[in-house]
Amino acid sequence: MDLKALHKISYGLYIITSKKGDQINGQIANTVFQISSEPATVAVSINKQNLTNEFIRESKVFGISILAQEAPLSLVGQFGFKSGRDVDKFKDIKYKTGTSGVPCILDHVLAYLEAEVINEVDVGTHHIFIGRITNAEVLIEGIPMTYAYYHQVKRGSVPRSTPAYVPKQAEGKEKMNNYVCDVCGYVYDPAQGDPENGIAPGTPFDKLPEDWVCPVCGVGKDEFSPEN
């Protein structure tokens, strides 16, 4: 069975936020879809182990910030590869508090939605939260980030807790000059470099500045291994 067939399903990339009392949290998710128009309802799929899941179940509200295609990998890493149990994900992040009390991200976001949970479905490792839209606003016009663009163009990766995660399967011989982040799976390809962080295409891994860090999760060069 070739589970890479699942990669052909179209996904977006979103920051899902919620609250618990005075606390706020958020995470990256790619499973968000509209269910109906009257009333307007959406569904999100959140891993049971994630703090955001706990917050949504407690408060019964969540927000959806729709990422723009040009959103930096660092923003995805901030909300996708760090835990709100350990760090303040909103440090240095521009956001506003929505009408439901959930944080709505403002930078690199096309629009945001707020929803009130009207149903919850247990689907094994995840809960699907179905919410009635209570507020929505378009911030800027642009192209939304898709999972395919994030994965293929930006060379990003997804945590094991996401529905779209598929373990790597053995493939043919890979280029040996690529390096893979041992923490998040980001692939540094010298042919493409890291233009977002000033690294020109054609820069070999061993020529990267010593203070260069993974653009997704922020670890140093010593946390990378040759791709094979």
Residue 46 to residue 67: CA distance in whole angstroms:
17
pLDDT band at 68 (very low <50, low <70, confident <90, very high): very high
pLDDT band at 164 (very low <50, low <70, confident <90, very high): very low
Kindly report, residue by residue over 73-104, the tens digit of the pLDDT. Answer: 989 989 988 889 999 999 999 999 999 999 99
Which 3 state secondary structure label does DSSP give 220?
Answer: strand
Residue 126 to residue 2: CA distance in whole angstroms:
22
Whole-number pLDDT of residue 188: 93
Domains of the chain: 10-153 (2.30.110.10), 179-226 (2.20.28.10)
Tokens standing for residue 48:
């049971």
Q: Is pLDDT at 143 greater than 50 in this prediction? A: yes
Whole-number pLDDT of residue 98: 97
Whole-number pLDDT of residue 173: 39
Q: Which of 86-100, 143-157, 183-197, 204-218 has the lowest mean pLDDT?
A: 143-157
Q: Is pLDDT at 210 greater than 90 in this prediction? A: yes
Q: What is the pTM of this model?
A: 0.79
Q: Is pLDDT at 107 greater than 80 in this prediction? A: yes
The partner residues of 188 in beta bridges, in order of sequence, read: 179
% the chain with pLDDT above 90: 70
Nearest 5 degrees, angle CA 195-CA 197-CA 203?
55
Q: Is pLDDT at 170 greater than 50 in this prediction? A: no
Q: Is pLDDT at 171 greater than 70 in this prediction? A: no
Q: Is pLDDT at 22 greater than 70 in this prediction? A: yes
Whole-number pLDDT of residue 165: 45
Tokens standing for residue 33:
């879809």
* β-strands 187-188, 179-181 pairing: antiparallel
